[in-house]
A and B are shown apart, each in its own frame.
Chain A
Amino acid sequence: MAVVTYRDALTQALREELQRDDRVFLMGEEVAQYNGAYKVSKGLLDEFGPMRIVDTPITELGFAGVGVGAAMLGLRPIVEFMTWNFALLAIDEVVNAAAKMLYMSGGQYKMPMVFRGPNGSALQLSAQHSQAWESWYAHIPGLKVCTPGTPADAKGLLKSAIRDDNPVVFLEGEMLYNTKGEVPDGDHIVPIGVAELKREGDHCSVITHGKMVLVAMKVADDLAKEGINIDVVDLRTVRPIDVETIARSVQKTNRAVVLEEGWEICGMGSQVVDFIQRECFDDLDAPVLRVHQEDVPMPYAKNLERAAKPDAGKAIAAIRKVMYLD
């Protein structure tokens, strides 16, 4: 098993799927000549040529629609948004066209396509460039939504997404591209809709996804030193959501904290808590707590930004609270 970066894992997935199926192509801003704004498509233009690695103008709505049209003809487009913040301009094509095409055509037109790009906050990019969008897309029937937190999941899920006959919103962690991890050799596939228990413990379940998986793992390490052992449930996919794995964990630990990068109101955590109260009502020893971004647009100043973001400290405080340690 090789240790690779999250970025390289994504590049591997793209390359392997482009090699595997000539209906697959990648389009987006700066994906070809520039090798990708975040270098995820590095080297692909040289290998696959300009018909399959397609530079677009800055025209998110336009090229997202081009992807939808190409998918109607049976091609398998991968539409890269330079960041998901820019995809708001294209959301009509994602939500009104791609997500609904199969249904409103009575099953006649599939949408075998992927919309992908970096999601969530980076560092000091302030309000318009620091947002976690998963709850927006997870709300929409017809879409699948992947939020990989590790290189192995990034590769395995992206390959699944490209092979899926449905539109997949693929949210990469902007701060994860340089992170490293072991990635299984060969045709590594992670099925969409299956969570993974990334750490086992008996005292509390932390349910999370995406970039926050790394925070949860750090929390698990820190708390282990105090003798507190937590389950870390990495959802990996937020639509469909793996309720079974969540329930199994909470039924074991009887306590849960839901950790996410986005805002509180109608966030992913709201849905997870709903599943927990339905599936684990009699198992709970404490109310479920949520850790999320503060309910403000992301500020620029370092100290304010730090205060706005969910982090290990906030997660530990929540865990201690549901364990009635504080």
Chain B
Amino acid sequence: MSTDAKRAPAQKRSDKGIPGNNGADATPQNDLAGTTPEVRRELLRSMLLQRRFEERCAEAYALGKIGGFCHLYIGQEAISTGVMSMIRPDDYVITAYRDHGQALARGVSPRAVMAELFGRETGCSGGKGGSMHIFDAKTNFLGGHGIVGGHVPIAAGVGFGIKYRRGNQVCVCFFGEAAVNIGAFHEALNLASLWELPVVFIIENNRYGMGTAISRSTANEDVLIRAKGYRMEGESVDGQDVFVVRECMARAVERARKEKRPTLIEMKTYRFMGHSMSDAASGTYRTKDELEENMKRDPILVLHNKMFESGELTEGEMHKIDDEAKAIAQDAWDFADASPEPPLEKLYTDVYADTSS
């Protein structure tokens, strides 16, 4: 997969951004493959956390602790981590229903995310949203939205709001490649370009909309061509390489922040699990061989190998980082499991806001 995508070599340069949403001054310069070993370690930490966390989600789902629809992000972590590492805390993120990984990469508390999945009062959305509706105002994480494409115009609205307030934030909007066939996507792109809104639209092309391959859904599989239709700049990149993701994001964020112009990015990726917890990873609409072939480019492995080859990461250190990720996931589980369900009186709260004015 994605071997044809352009890949930029990782170059050692000074640190321009710290993953995990710590970089108040993370506006990158052009060459963003340049990272310090410490940044690379943070990138690895972020991706491993998502992986270990979601493995526990699958387990909790099997045990009935998580219900409803639950869409895992496993296999796509370089995108969430790479993207979040290039934006500021005061920027905005909005996404679709495959949202756990992005929330964690953005810095939403793993405890609050797991508690939300468990349907507990301590969840980031108070147990009212669930897997598809992770919201966190503290990190400007504007949800988790469950209708394919429905949140793309909302992202344009966030961009409009930024411009209205004369701010210099950007809004990052994630969605799958299947969303490019829905009207909302087109309406949003037209408005964002027409009005010059600071939005970065990210197509996570994992090649399947639920069980429908892109070749069966999309007349022109070159989804990036849709940027041209709206006089928007765009790039198509390897979404399995976190450095490529970062480099591409650097350009898009700069364009949004400085020039107030949107970008459409296609990040080529692959999901290693089923569409949701209710379908097998392979066998129905894609073969086991295809899955295994793509799993060779596991984004964590890609990063790990680079760090290992450069000699900056030993297997022992890798294990340590991995153990830390597992411990955070376990802590999140324990916290969620021990948290109370929302009290019944919460059934009727948050339907309407009190209007004091």
Across the interface, B157 reaches (CB within 8 A) one of A66, A105, A141, A144, namely A66
**Per-residue CB proximity of B171-198 to A under 8 Å, as 1/0?**
1000000000001100110110010000
A92 x B125 contact (CB < 8 A)? no
Chain A contacts for B145, CB-based, 8 A: 97
**Per-residue CB proximity of A57-72 to B under 8 Å, as 1/0?**
1010111111111111
- The residue among A61, A64, A66 with the most chain B CB atoms within 10 A of its own CB is A66
In whole angstroms, what is the CA distance A51 to B162 when docked? 12
| Count of chain A to chain B residue pairs whose CB atoms are closer than 8 Å in the complex | 152
Stretch at the interface among A161-169, A229-237, A292-300, A302-310: A161-169
B156 x A166 contact (CB < 8 A)? no
B353 x A165 contact (CB < 8 A)? yes
Closest to A20 in B: B357
Chain A contacts for B160, CB-based, 8 A: 66, 69-70
A65 x B133 contact (CB < 8 A)? no
B184 x A65 contact (CB < 8 A)? yes
Stretch at the interface among A107-115, A147-155, A176-184: A107-115
In whole angstroms, what is the CA distance A57 to B194 when docked? 9
Chain A contacts for B129, CB-based, 8 A: 104-106
B156 x A104 contact (CB < 8 A)? no
Across the interface, B155 reaches (CB within 8 A) one of A69, A105, A142, namely A69
Chain A contacts for B136, CB-based, 8 A: 108
Query: Residues of B within 8 Å of A, CB-based: how many?
Result: 51
The number of chain A residues touching the other chain, given as a range, is 35 or more
Closest to A99 in B: B351
With A92-B147, A97-B145: A106-B135 Cβ-Cβ less than 8 Å: yes
With A105-B143, A108-B136: A142-B161 Cβ-Cβ less than 8 Å: no
A104 x B128 contact (CB < 8 A)? yes
B351 x A142 contact (CB < 8 A)? yes
Check A323 for interface membership: any CB of B closer than 8 A: no
A108 x B137 contact (CB < 8 A)? yes
In whole angstroms, what is the CA distance A301 to B354 when docked? 47
In whole angstroms, what is the CA distance A142 to B351 when docked? 5
Chain A contacts for B157, CB-based, 8 A: 65-72, 77
Closest chain-A Cβ to B92's Cβ sits at a distance in Å of 8
Q: Which B334-357 residues have a C-beta within 8 angstroms of A? A: 349-357
Chain A contacts for B349, CB-based, 8 A: 107
B357 x A165 contact (CB < 8 A)? yes
Give 8 A-B pairs besides A72-B142, A97-B154, A105-B137 with Cβ atoms closer than 8 angstroms: A61-B184, A62-B153, A62-B156, A72-B157, A75-B164, A92-B184, A93-B154, A165-B356
Contacts A/B (CB < 8 Å), 23 sampled: A51-B164, A62-B187, A63-B153, A64-B153, A65-B152, A65-B188, A69-B156, A69-B160, A70-B158, A70-B164, A96-B150, A102-B350, A104-B135, A105-B125, A105-B129, A106-B127, A106-B135, A106-B350, A108-B136, A109-B143, A165-B353, A165-B354, A166-B355
- Residues of B at under 8 Å CB distance from A? 92, 94, 123-129, 133, 135-137, 142-147, 150-162, 164-165, 171, 183-184, 187-188, 190-191, 194, 349-357
